[in-house]
Chain A
Amino acid sequence: MDILKFAVRKLFGGIPLILGVTFISFLLMVYFGPDLTWEKLGKNPTQQDIMEVRHELGYDQPFVKRYGNYLKQLVTLDFGNSQMTDKKVSTILKETMPVSLHLIIPGFILGNIIAVALALFAAYHRGTWLDKLIMTGSVVGMSISFLIVIIAFQLLFCSSFGLDLFPVRGWEVYNNEGNIIWSQYFKYVTVPTLATVFVALGYNTRFYRAVLVEEMTKDHVRTARAFGHKPASILFKSVLKNAMVPITTRIMFSIPLVVVSGSLLIESYFGIPGVGKITYDAIVAGDQNILKAIVGLTAVLFVIVLLLTDILYRVFDPRVELK
C-alpha cells in the first residue's frame, strides 16, 4: 500500500516536469521551429496561396491557443495527422516504435551486460595489467566517434568491399502477418548491434567499474574480506548487489532517450524505418504533430522511469526510505 501511495504521489509530482518539457519543446520546436508553409507551396505561389496554407497549418492562431491545443492532444493522445505525409501520427508511431525497439534492444542489453561483466573482471583484478588493459580499451572506445564506427562497420561487414556478410540496409524482418521472422531479424540487426555495443561499451565499462570499485572499498566489504570470505563471493554477493542501485539507475535513465533519439544515426545509415529517423525528419521539415507526440511521450516516459527507479531503489537497497 505504501508503494502505491508513493507511486501516485510521485506521478503527480511529475506533472510540472511534463509541463516543463512540453512547454520548452513546444516553444523551441513548434513556435520558433521550421515553417512548413514554404515546403507545402507549389512552384509559383500567390500571396493568397500562402495565407491559405498558413491557415491550414494553424499558424495564424495565437500562441496560448496553440499550446493549449497541444496539451489537449497530449491528454486525449490524439495528435491528428502528420503534416507532411498524410498519415495519422498514431499510425506512424505504431509502425515505427516497434522497429526501433527491436533494433535497439539487443545492443542495449548486450552493451550493458558485457560492460558489467568486464567491469567486474577489471574491478576484481584491480591494479593489474588486465585492469589497465580493459580501462585503456574503454578509453579508446569512448574516443572514437559513433559516426566513424558506423561508417567503418558498414563497409567492413556489409559491403561487397568488405566481408559482405550482412545486408547493407533495410528491415525485412516481419512476415505478412506482422510477426517477426527470427532468421531475418538476426541478419538485419547484427551489424547495428555490433556498432551500438562497440560504442556503448567504453562508457558503460568505465562507469560500472568505478561504481564497483567504490563499493569494494566500503567498510563492510573490507570487514568481510578480513573475516576471510572468498573474494569472488564477496564480489557477487555484496558488491554487485549494492552496486545494482547506480547500475539500474543508469540503465533506466537511458531508456527514454534510447527509445526516441538513440538510434537516429543507425536508422539513417542502415535504412531502418524507425522512430529516430521519423523524429529527425519531422524536426527538419517542421512536422509539428509528430514532434508534439514524440516529445510529449518522451516526457511522460521519463516521469515513469523516475518513478520506477525510486521504487527499484527500495527493492535493491531497503535502507532507502520511500520519502
Chain B
Amino acid sequence: MTSKTLTNANEFDPNNFEKGDSLWDKAWYKFKRDRMGKTGAFIVLVYFIIALGVWFGIWGGAWSDTSDDLWQGPSMQHLFGTNVIGSDVLTRVIYSTKVAFEVGFIVAVLSTVLGAILGSLSGYFSGTWVDSVILWLMGVLDSIPFYLFVAAVAFALKENPFAMHIAMIATFWTGTARVVRGEVIKLKGQEFVEAAKSIGVTETNIIFKHIMPNTSHILLVQSTIAFVAAIKSEVILSFLGLGVKDGVSWGLMISESTQDVLAGHFNNFLSSSVFLFVLVIAFNMFSDSMQDALDPKKVS
C-alpha cells in the first residue's frame, strides 16, 4: 500500500513530474537527430544480436572444436582462418561477443547499482559520518593501482571465475558514486524532497524512491561508460592472465595472437581486435550521444 501512495506523491509533485517527462522527451528528440549516436546504437544492436544468437545456441557453439588444420589462412570453410590448434577463428570471435556482453553487462549493471546506492547515501548524508566513511572508501579504492588491485583480488578469490568481474565492480563504482553524490547534494535541497519530508516519508524512501530516480539519466550514461571500460580492461587483464576463465574472449584471442603476429598469421589478431575496436567505438559514440541528449547542462 505504501508504495502506491508514494508513486502518487511523486505524481502529485508537478515539478518532478514535468521535469522528468520533458528530459526524456527532449533526450529522445535530440538522440533521433544525432547521426553518430544512431549509427553507434545500431552497431551495438547488431553485436547484441550476435551475442543473443550465441546465447540461444544458434551459432558459435563450435568454438571449442579443434582440428588438424593448424594456422590456416582464410578459406571458404574457415572464413577467418584457423588458429594454432585448428579452431575456427570466426566462430571464436562470435562466441567472444557473448562473453564481452556478459562481462560488460555484469560489470556495468552492478557497478552502477553499487555506485548509485553508495553515492546517494553519501550525498544525502553529506557532512555526516556516513558520507565520510563512503568518501574514505572511495579514496582508498582509487589510490590502489588498478591492475595491482585486480591481480590481488584474483589471487584472493583463488579459482572464482568471477574474480575479474568482482575486481572491476569494486573499482568502477567509485566514479559513478562521485557523480551521483554531487547530483544528490543538489537535489536534496529541492522542493519535492522538502515536500516528501513534510508529509512524513521515511528517509530510506526519500533517498531511494524520490531522489535516486532523478539521477537515472546519470546512471544510464555512467553504465555505458562502465560497459566500455569493462570490455577494454578485459583485454589487458586477459593478456596478464587475470581475465576470463571459461570460454574464450577477445582479450584471450589477442593474447594468443601476440605470438601469431610475428609468424605472419594475422587473422587471429586482426579479427579479434577489429571486432573489439568496432564495438568499443560504437559504444563510445552511443554513450557520447546519450550524454549529449541526457545531460541538460552539457554543451557540445
Contacts and interface: CB of A to CB of B under 8 A. Distances in A.
A16 interface: yes
B156 A260 contact: no
Contacts of A129: none
Interface stretch (B73-81, B196-204, B235-243): B235-243
For chain A, what secondary structure do more than half of its interface residues adopt (helix, strand, loop), or is it mixed? helix
B281 A140 contact: yes
Contacts of B146: 257, 261
Interface in A249-299: 256-257, 260-261, 264-265, 279-280, 283-284, 295, 298-299
Nearest to A34: B155
Contacts, number: 107
B254 interface: yes
B267 to A, nearest CB: 15
B130 interface: no
Interface string A136-177: 000110111111100100010000010000000000000000
A279 B143 contact: no
Nearest to A262: B145
B261 A155 contact: yes
B9 interface: no
Interface residues of A, number: 43
Given A139-B281, A155-B261, A145 B136 contact: no
Contacts of A322: none
A16 B143 CA distance: 13
A17 B136 contact: yes
B140 A17 contact: yes
Given A21-B144, A256-B143, A148 B273 contact: yes
Contacts of A29: 148, 152, 155
Nearest to B291: A210
A147 B145 contact: no
Interface in B243-276: 254-255, 258, 261-262, 269, 273, 276
A242 interface: no
B147 interface: yes
A194 to B, nearest CB: 19
A79 interface: no
Contact of B148 (A32, A146, A279): A279
B155 A139 contact: no
Contacts of A299: 143-144
Interface in B30-75: none
A139 B284 contact: yes
A214 B299 contact: yes
Interface in A32-68: 32-34
Contacts of B195: none
B299 A217 contact: yes
B6 interface: no
B261 A151 contact: yes
Nearest to A213: B299
A5 B261 CA distance: 58
Interface in A223-262: 256-257, 260-261
9 contacts: A21-B144, A33-B155, A145-B273, A148-B254, A151-B258, A261-B145, A280-B148, A280-B240, A302-B143
Interface of B: 136-137, 139-141, 143-149, 151-153, 155-156, 232, 235-236, 239-240, 254-255, 258, 261-262, 269, 273, 276-277, 280-281, 284-285, 288, 299-300
